[in-house]
Amino acid sequence: MIKVAIDTKNNPEVNVWITSDTHYSHKNICRGVTAWRTKEGEIPVSQTRDFSTIEKMNASIVNNINEVVGQDDMLIHLGDWSFGGHEQIREFWDRVICKNIHLVLGNHDHHIENNRDGCQGLFKSVSHYNTLEMGQFKFRLMHYPISSWDGLGKGVMHLHGHCHLPNNLKLSKGQRMDVGMDGHTEFRPYNVYREVVPLLRNRPKVSEIGDYDHHLDELQNKDKGYYEKLVY
């Protein structure tokens, strides 16, 4: 685990952005995730990907990242960076202005995981699991969503990707959120402090497992009002 610590007191202007599941150069996702489509094959209104070519999708991904993420900012990517080999990995990296990128590996990141052609050197860190600390806020970072995590019930939030959830489904019952690009209404990364924190900080500090999670006894005592209002 690599901890990414941001000193918000001494560096108040730092911009930290987070995203996931860009799938650069992945032809099969140009028109979105199959599971989102209707029985007739139509793409729902909530769909954010409907590109006729890979080139148009890649250009939109790059342009939307570069429009908000500055050269001196930090970009945290929670996996499925691109599709293909080193050429696609490097091409995407070359086109993104920000080079301060931390990558949490996804299920399509085999070349990076195995460090083929030294592609791990493109990123500030490469891991399966990470922690982000920004002042008083702490986040557990993984590609996959998990139901219970270290610090649950103590204000620690969980950010993930993988699910390609549309905007109306990106939030769970508790302090967990899918930060993939497909879930952003503008198809771009989220600003952690300005967008993610306001969405999650006041949500119930509860587990997604339900009554089978032994942590709930502790949570019930600490946050009883929230817990009693939950509807499973």
- The enclosing domain of 189 has a CATH number of 3.60.21.10
Q: Considering its fold, how many domains does the chain have in total?
A: 1
Residues spanned by the domain of 109: 2-229
Q: Which amino acid is at 86?
A: H
Which of left, alpha, beta for 23 (phi over 0: left; psi -120 to 50: alpha)?
A: left
Given this model, what pLDDT does residue 227 score?
39
**Confidence bin at 122 (pLDDT 50/70/90):** very high
pLDDT in tens, 39-93: 676 666 556 788 889 999 999 999 999 999 999 999 999 999 999 899 999 999 9
> Whole-angstrom Cα distance, residue 107 to residue 104?
10
Q: Where are the extended beta strands (E) located within the chain?
A: 2-6, 16-19, 74-77, 101-104, 125-127, 130-134, 137-141, 157-160, 176-178, 190-191
Q: Is 125 exposed, middle or buried (0-12, 13-18, 19+ CB in 10 A)?
A: middle
